[in-house]
Structure 1
């Protein structure tokens, strides 16, 4: 048996329930300082929320179809959103809500967006089975990465910005040279499982918070069970605060003390 930390009798992890979207919430992302939460929805809008008070700071309108992905630039000044609408990515001024760029070039829905660590490059993954790298300042296409045989649903840069990972319905993860666009590795499903297993077997001082199926986990342990009605469509984590987006259009913010 393991004794859990003592908490007050009336303690509740729920900080905020953010209501305002009129369609399922597809994506959530915290700003780098954790003060603002962005959410993208089937209602064709992006909302910016004060993560402390739950107040709506901005409602960003301009997409004409569901918003599938949102991501802040490393300095928090720019927000990227990817949508089903005419295969676009939009870059917004996170302070004023103004559209800075509309990036067109994909021929399928945009499912994922991610900034490079220096904020100069934006990656987007699409149903057209490609990943595009964009100049985040000018909106020009720098690279179109081809090689997947299924929809691309996830993209992420390495901490040094030299490698881009993409995950696809073709059951592979590809690692790309972010400068040249060359494929460095293609990880099949069994390779991914082994890589995860190897990573988890190594000691680590802090594994952080993540959600796996019906559990909010700390490290390798499930700490908070989520009932069926509270299992999210999308999540983001900032330190001990977790944002959960739901098909009902709600966003919940939890603060966890493990």
Structure 2
């Protein structure tokens, strides 16, 4: 489980890039953020050119562009590599844009809104391809293209799901009825044969995309409204996110088999997305975090603060370079190293009576762990034994917020609220370069060639 934290408001929407290497998120803080799906690091500075809440985000099929739907009815397109706006905003909706999606060939964008309409846009020119699709009697919260681009499916607050022809704008089927509440999310299987819908009536329903009939009995188990649904890439599973703070993964071949339940969010799960290979799920929540889950088994979830692990809030977490271990630091004054597959502790806990652990990281070869403690020291530990490798690094006069190894593992840079950024030699425990003055430093990183340091303050 990887937690991506940085938004200052609840997360409304998340999506994987087509290659699965990045995650985009949109938030009530009006920003769009792009993250590395493996490390959890932010790839770009937050995109903050929006004047309203970001309700929906989507990558283009080539991963180059990001579309976002805003609370002011506008759609904006951004370059996913630079964060620059690539064309004029798409205007036409009169209320919030709740959903946006690209066609599989990337030439069109479909959007749905609180104004009860669905609109189809030319992704290059930004012009509308069709007159607005009208028929829903209430806000349209979700819309997505079929894989072949010839149809779109929409879900609405009027409790119905509708299928539309994208060449004529006409409804192909009679409205799909069965839900007793708002239909908040719809998705299409990769082969275009099935539709999944999630509703505030707490059920997930699977529909035949040709006939409009239900394939399975309604999937029940969530304790509150369902906010997001999606198919796995192979179509064998459906994931649902709910206001009950959980994600459930359903095996639709069995239908009635008990789902896998993922529990870690502390508030409603508003958006979920499978990675391209189906091995991971990204989720966004009102708790202001994005989490990345490995979907094979629940054993990838580490023991909780009330179990055999940490006895207090976990302040920091990081994967080893080969992905087999996870290190965590807590306000319980311990550092723990875990097997990433089984969730078992790999070594005895490392006790740090000097105070809360604010940051942890593995060295590039995975042999050492660097940690930041509340007492302003930077400490190094043997990742196999838990023994302290060198004496604590001292020099900061105030809380140290972030640390990072150089790519060769020979130096560590640290950033502090004392407004300095020194670099330390790991072997000699002395400063390799003098402290760099700055404002309060909250985050730092080293470039891949080790020649530059990036700081955030």
Flag whether TM exceeds 0.5 (same fold): yes
Q: Give the drift of 1:13.
A: 2.7
Structure 2 residue ranges without an equivalent (≥5): 1-39, 223-237, 241-247, 252-257, 262-276, 295-299, 303-316, 319-327, 329-457
Matches within 5 A, 1:93-108: 93-101=122-130, 102-108=132-138
Pair 1:156 & 2:211 matched: no
Shift of 1:188: 1.3
Matched residue, 2:426: none
1:122 to 136, 148, 152: 152
1:88-115 CA distance string (max 9 Å, x none):
0000000000011210110000000111
Q: Does 1:208 align with 2:280?
A: yes
Which of 209, 214, 220 aligns to 1:188? It is 220
Could you report, residue by residue, the CA deviation over 1:20-71 in whole angstroms, capped at 9, with x for unpaired residues?
A: 2211110000011110100001111000111111111231011111111001
Partners of 1:212 and 1:46 in 2: how far apart? 20
In structure 2, the residue matched to 1:167 is 198
Written as runs of structure 1 = structure 2, the 5 A alignment for 1:33-44 is: 33-44=62-73
Query: What is the distance in 2 between the residues matched to 1:215 and 1:135?
Result: 34
Task: Quote how far apart the aligned CAs of 1:208 are.
Answer: 2.7
Residue 52 of structure 1 is aligned with which of 61, 66, 81?
81
Any stretches of 5+ residues in structure 1 without a counterpart?
1-10, 226-258
The alignment partner of 1:145 has SS state of: coil
> Which whole-Å CA distance do the structure 2 matches of 1:212 and 1:194 have between them?
16
Instruction: Give the 3 Å change call, closer, same or farther, for CA 140–22 of structure 1 in structure 2.
Output: same
Query: Which of 17, 21, 32 is the equivalent residue of 2:50?
Result: 21
1:217 and 2:254 correspond: no
Q: Which has the higher contact order (CA 8 A, sep 6+)?
A: 1
More helix by share: 1
1:81 aligned onto 2:111: yes
**Conserved 8 A contact 1:114-1:157:** yes
- Note the C-alpha offset of 1:215: 4.7
For each residue in 1:223-255, what CA deviation from the matched residue of structure 2 results, as whole angstroms up to 9, or x when unmatched?
679xxxxxxxxxxxxxxxxxxxxxxxxxxxxxx
Cα pair distance change 1:206/1:98, threshold 3 Å: closer
Q: Which residue of 1 aligns with 2:414?
A: none
CA contact (8 A) 1:47 1:60 kept: yes
Measured after TM superposition, the shift of residue 17 of structure 1 is: 1.5
Q: Which has the larger radius of gyration?
A: 2
Deviation at 1:12, TM superposition (A): 5.0
Q: Aligned ranges for residues 123-142 of structure 1 at < 5 Å?
A: 123-142=153-172
Structure 2 residue 96 is the aligned partner of structure 1 residue 66: yes
* Distance in 2 of aligned mates of 1:105 and 1:142: 12
The TM-score, its normalising length taken from structure 2, stands at: 0.43
Q: CA RMSD in A?
A: 2.6
Question: In the superposition, relative to structure 1, how do residues 218 and 175 fare at CA in structure 2: closer, same or farther (>3 Å)?
Answer: closer
Q: Is the 8 A contact 1:21 1:43 kept in 2?
A: no
